[in-house]
Amino acid sequence: MTTPDKDRYARMPYRRTGRSGLKLPAISLGLWQNFGGDRPIETQRAIVRRAFDLGITHFDLANNYGPPYGSAEENFGRILRSDLAGHRDELVISTKAGYDMWPGPYGIWGSRKYLLASLDQSLKRMGLEYVDIFYSHRFDPETPLEETLGALDTAVRQGKALYAGISSYSARRTKDAAAILRKLGTPLLIHQPSYSMLNRWIEPDLLKVLGEEGIGCIVFSPLAQGLLTDRYLAGVPAGSRASHPGSFSADLLTEDLLAKVRALNQIARRRGQTLAQMALAWTLRDPRVTSTLIGASSVAQLEQNVGALDKLQFSAEELKDIDRYATESGINLWAASSAG
């Protein structure tokens, strides 16, 4: 059991989630990568402890984060008990269900049976009575939206979640979801879409809907799974995510894409930031974006990324320069879900 830094709340800006009463840190920590059973628990503990010391109060999970599935929630539950016991009311903890979790037709997608069973399992793995936000992880084209959103409403009414959220829904489906939940009496708190300088799909329509509906926005993959760092400036290094099979393919790393990344890196250097810091700050430039989700494989990487908060402002000229290179690059791995 450690004592958190007494100045932790002085360092982090907190932004209102839509028109709700909930504020989130401008930077939140996602446990999609680096918190499974294949990583040392002591490294995970150090990252979470340091994140809390830096004012990161929001920790984002999903049922199948790992590997193996469920292990990120299990490990986070261990860290809660060993390092953050007594601080539960200072934390916002979220989880999701929608992708494959267990075999058969009831372990995937958006049915009431799957979502509520998954939430019960998530709570057990983390040792919690409730999560703060429970998400529908993706739109299910074969399940009535009323059923999926009705399950989120039930989770809130049962006290197993405080708020309802959705992830990777299109602007049209988001508007529909907001209307359904409003009628049920459980407002839609937040949407979690992918968004980065190289994946700008939310700008034409979704952000407008979120602003009109008073729904918060927390963006994931703001560094384009590592593309918007210095990692790939000279090609694909050994040991990087693109160098082995998984969610990110080296086939995406065309010379045209790498040229854009190098140009953006030069702009970041002129701003006195790393490319990653500029990329994170850029996602926060729109007031409709509540928070940006980062991952971290080490305390040093976490600290460097949180350094983005030191320079959040952009001049009109800088934004114009960025727009020359920050263009759609065919890297949205979640496009199918948000196309409905």
The pLDDT confidence band at residue 247, using thresholds 50, 70 and 90, is low
DSSP state of 99: S
Residue 293: its H or E element? strand 291-294
The pLDDT confidence band at residue 240, using thresholds 50, 70 and 90, is low
Q: What is the DSSP string of 17-68?
A: -TTSS-EEESEEEE-SSS-STTS-HHHHHHHHHHHHHTT--EEE--TT-TTT
Residue 241 pLDDT greater than 80, yes or no = no
Interatomic CA distance for residues 153 and 161, integer angstroms: 9
- Pinpoint the alpha helices (H) of the chain: 8-11, 41-53, 71-83, 112-126, 145-157, 171-184, 206-213, 255-271, 275-283, 299-306, 316-325
Give residue for tokens 């049962």: 158
DSSP state of 285: S
The pLDDT confidence band at residue 253, using thresholds 50, 70 and 90, is confident
Q: What is the pLDDT of residue 327?
A: 95
Residue 243 pLDDT greater than 60, yes or no = no
Interatomic CA distance for residues 35 and 185, integer angstroms: 35
Separation of CA 163 from chain center: 16
> Which residues are registered as beta bridge partners of 191?
166, 217
Whether residue 252 contacts residue 152, with contact meaning beta carbons closer than 8 Å, is answered with no
Q: CA 92, 95, 98 angle in degrees (round to 5)?
A: 155
**Least-confidence region, from 40-44, 112-116, 251-255:** 251-255
Cβ-Cβ contacts under 8 Å for 258 (sequence gap 6 or more): 232, 233, 235
The pLDDT confidence band at residue 158, using thresholds 50, 70 and 90, is very high
3-state helix, strand and coil shares in percent for the chain, rounded to the nearest 5: 45, 15, 45
% of the chain exceeding 90 in pLDDT: 91
Whether residue 250 contacts residue 258, with contact meaning beta carbons closer than 8 Å, is answered with no
Q: What is the pLDDT of residue 332?
A: 93
**Least-confidence region, from 48-52, 247-251, 284-288, 310-314:** 247-251
Quote the pTM value.
0.95
Q: What is the pLDDT of residue 46?
A: 98
